[in-house]
Structure 1
Amino acid sequence: METNYDVIVVGGGTSGMMASIAAAENGARVLLIDKNRKLGKKLLMTGGGRCNVTNNRDVDDLIRHIPGNGKFLYSTFAQFNNFDIMNFFESQGVSLKEEDHGRMFPVTNKSKTIVDALVTRAQELGVTFCPNTKVTKLRFDDAQMAGVTTETDTFNAPCVVLTTGGKTYPSTGSTGDGYRLAKSAGHTITPLYATESALLSDAPFIQAKTLQGLSLQDVSLAVLDDHQKIVTEHVMDLLFTHFGVSGPAALRCSSFVNQQLERHDAVTMRLDCFPTKTNAQLAKEWENEFSTSKKSVKNDLAQWLPERLADFFMAKLELEDTASYQLTPNQVESLIALVKEFTFPVHHTLPIEKSFVTGGGVHLKEINPKTMESKKKAGLFFAGELIDINGYTGGFNITAAFCTGHSAGVHAAEISSYFRY
């Protein structure tokens, strides 16, 4: 096998495949090394196996949906952004479709369509693939990259792109190797934590599985600080589970929950079942609905809330057998407060290994935002989940991975070209 290349990419996931393609498109001889037998193992799992490949929002909105250091990506998105991702796949014959919240999926509804398009393009460009191979060491010539060492071989290149991912889903090969390699180059790794993770609660109603399996649509879930001020709030779907809450609203709160848990044993969550209505609006509607009704309150609530949730709230207020017309103004006020501001504690999130995204990573102050090149070692580049950037679910993390990978690949190809003269 050839041992001399212009660019070596370590990690064959989302950012690694795009880095390889971008480098090859810019004239570099590229070697892509991956621990797995096939490329894109984690990408095949995304979006429930359908691959939410990007999001069609404008750049400023994209960055607002990447709460973990998204502003770092302004330079990256100026060079290659979500619309370029869409154009890339369309040019490869992959038709995309838009779903709710701007999420873009392949029309085939298969992640394999996306992976196959990336692999095919890399093959067309002559990228050499080295599967089932672990990089054990980065090689340097003073402050300049010189290549990598694997368990069996040594490969030479003036530019190396690390795209090894974080620590989520280690079965896909994301076992944290990149952090060790980055440290060997003198880089700082910021604390790692789970993001886009389900929330675990020891609350009695959770432990009793009272609401297990109940799904709520378009509700508001907020993280409160110790002064009961909102840290973050999201209006999305929510799912009660046997261990706590999951679903998009919970996942988007998780990184903020983990930040609060660094200082507290538990974090207060606030659920608003009617985020588009004020307390006063709800009071007026319910007064009209309930004032003459001889049904029980929970039966009247059936048009507003799922039955199990209505039963749960009625039990908390001890109103299970009360007729609607019998409600006192204070009881109505208490009911509205409960459905608008139901609070419960969260004590943990799922661990990184069972979460969707790793927060933390290679310190951004040590990376050039315009090129993704290391400020510690010339010719070393980073991209994807390995760096300290994380976004919400909805195509934002994949967008960041594709775009940082593209930027790293382009600039690695440019730098490597200087070594041919």
Structure 2
Amino acid sequence: METDVVVIGGGPSGLMAAIAASEQGVRTVLVEKGKNLGKKLAISGGGRCNVTSRLPKDEIIKHIPGNGRFLYSAFSVFDNEDIIAFFTRLGVELKEEDHGRMFPVSNQSKDVVNALINQLHAQGVQILTETKVDAIDYGTDTHTVILSDGRKISTKSVVVAVGGKAVPHTGSTGDGYPWAKKAGHTVTDLYPTEVPLLSNQSFIKNKALQGLALRDVALTVKDAQDKHIVTHQMDMLFTHFGFSGPAVLRCSQYAVKLLNKGQKEVSLYIDTLPKINEQTLFEELVSKIEVSPKKAIKTIFKGLIPERLLHFLLEKNAIDLDLKGANVSNDQLRKFIHDVKQFELKVHGSLPLEKAFVTGGGVSIKEINPTTLESKLMPRLFFSGEILDIHGYTGGYNITAALVTGHNAGQNAAWLSF
């Protein structure tokens, strides 16, 4: 079989690449090893498909801490507003929610996936599903994509958009890294990001806080020298193995990186009342005690923080729950408040990469043209999406990066095949 552009991978980046290539009027083949296209899109945003963000470009880049600055050039060609206009053109109306997140008005991810698939058909893309690529042979004028059934596709350009190794049930199993290395590319160390964290602390082992959700807390990561690394103010959850929830997922990559550098444990600190400092809180609680000195301390402080955590922190600081307020010493009170503001979590690991939402590491961006997404080492070879060493927070940022890089890779792959 001969064609102009082969796109390998039927995820968000591959779908966009195939559409962008075929828009230029070139023969385009999309190869996907799974049965269905768009599996990762279908499950994103809790099944509602958070396709992009309406935040300013600089803010979006900030939310892609893994080499997000590389995307500035790509964004100058096709950006988040172009993504919104693209889906509107396909008949998928979008709505804006908190933090600029954009969802289909229908709240159905299938509407996004079906619109993309319909566009592929409308533009005459040849779709090969349940078709595995074994290898790519690189040539001077053409590349050859070798399928597992023995068939070969001779093509002028190739776009590799097979994802990383996170969420493998969607098809992202690291297939593309050997193809990149064969072309001379560096694949940086892979690690999990947006991933729950593990802890051996006694309250995790005895399940004292298991299932407890904390709302709008500030979670801070510090290194071994007590240097502040990052803080995220969001919700979090105590689990049977450690910690999860949005704040933990956002902080996870920083903890994982410190662990990968040799730290045996990483400390994270929960500020359950981020809007008030310790001294002001101390004065307010002293006033509460003075108003009701004969009431039990658990009653006086009720509503301050979630009850399970309140009782846990009181007991942790040797304050009996039924102790009268008047009998709590200032030293006990200050230690309790310190835990309310800086409750230490000790993390020794994370769930594996296969359980992460996003892959950290990948094909080195130093070897990729930031505007066209073409390899600097192999002509007419393009990379897009999560196979690149680019990763963002959840909230539409990774899909934005996937769609933008996919569009530019597909478009430029087509132009080079004329």
TM over 0.5: yes
Equivalent position of 2:303 in the other structure: 303
Aligned to 2:346: 345
Please name the residue that 1:326 is paired with: 327
Matched residue SS, 1:5: strand
What is the alpha-carbon distance in structure 1 between the residues aligned to residue 298 and residue 239 of structure 2? Answer: 23
1:258-407 paired onto structure 2 within 5 Å: 258-262=256-260, 263-293=262-292, 294-319=294-319, 320-407=321-408
Aligned to 1:136: 134
CA contact (8 A) 1:292 1:324 kept: no
Question: How many angstroms does 1:80 deviate by?
Answer: 1.0
Mapping of residues 15-30 of structure 1, within 5 Å: 15-30=13-28
Distance 1:113 1:289 in 2: 54
**1:47-58 map, 5 Å:** 47-58=45-56
Q: Separation in 2 of the partners of 1:140 and 1:218?
A: 51
Q: Deviations over 1:21-68 (max 9, x none)?
A: 111112221100000111011221111211111111111111111110
CA distance in 1, matches of 2:175, 2:136: 12
Unpaired runs of 5+ residues, structure 2, are none
1:276 match: secondary structure: coil
Pairing partner for 1:97 from 88, 95, 98: 95
Q: Alignment partner for residue 83 of structure 2, among 82, 85, 92?
A: 85
- Kindly provide the amino acid, as one letter, of the partner of residue 387 in structure 1: L
CA distance in 1, matches of 2:65, 2:301: 37
Do structure 1's residue 149 and structure 2's residue 146 form an aligned pair?
yes
Query: Is the 1:8–1:147 contact (alpha carbons within 8 Å) kept by the matching residues of 2?
Result: no
Deviation sequence 1:313-366 (CA, Å, 0-9, x none): 011011122223333322222121110011021011110111101100001111
How many Å apart are 1:145 and its aligned residue? 4.3
Q: What TM-score does the superposition give when structure 2 sets the normalisation length? A: 0.97
| Cα separation, 1, equivalents of 2:334 and 2:381 | 61
Question: 3-state SS of the aligned residue for 1:166?
Answer: coil
CA distance in 1 between partners of 2:233 and 2:64 (Å) = 16
Shift in CA distance, 328/42, structure 1 to aligned 2, threshold 3 Å: same
Q: Which whole-Å CA distance do the structure 2 matches of 1:389 and 1:301 have between them? A: 45
**Structure 2 residue aligned with 1:206:** 204
Structure 1 counterpart SS, 2:370: coil
What RMSD in Å do the two structures reach over aligned CA positions?
1.2
Q: Which residue of 2 aligns with 1:191?
A: 189
Give the Cα–Cα distance (whole angstroms) in 2 for the partners of residues 304 and 55 of structure 1. Answer: 34
Q: Aligned to 2:73, what secondary structure does the other structure show?
A: helix
SS in 1 for 2:3: coil
**SS of corresponding position for 1:94:** coil
Distance 1:339 1:380, change over 3 A: same
Question: Partners of 2:398 and 2:296 in 1: how far apart?
Answer: 47
What letter matches 1:115 in structure 2? Answer: V
1:199 and 1:82, CA in 2 relative to 1: closer, same or farther beyond 3 A? same
Deviation at 1:139, TM superposition (A): 2.2
Deviations 1:91-111 (A, max 9, x none): 111122222222211122221
Identical amino acids, percent of aligned pairs: 49
Please show how residues 154-193 of structure 1 align to structure 2 within 5 Å. Answer: 154-193=152-191
Structure 1 counterpart of 2:148, one-letter code: E
CA contact (8 A) 1:222 1:230 kept: yes
Q: Is the 8 A contact 1:145 1:160 kept in 2?
A: no
- Distance in 1 (alpha carbons) for counterparts of 2:246 and 2:416: 41
Gaps of 5+ in 1: none
1:90 and 1:291 mapped to 2: Cα distance?
61
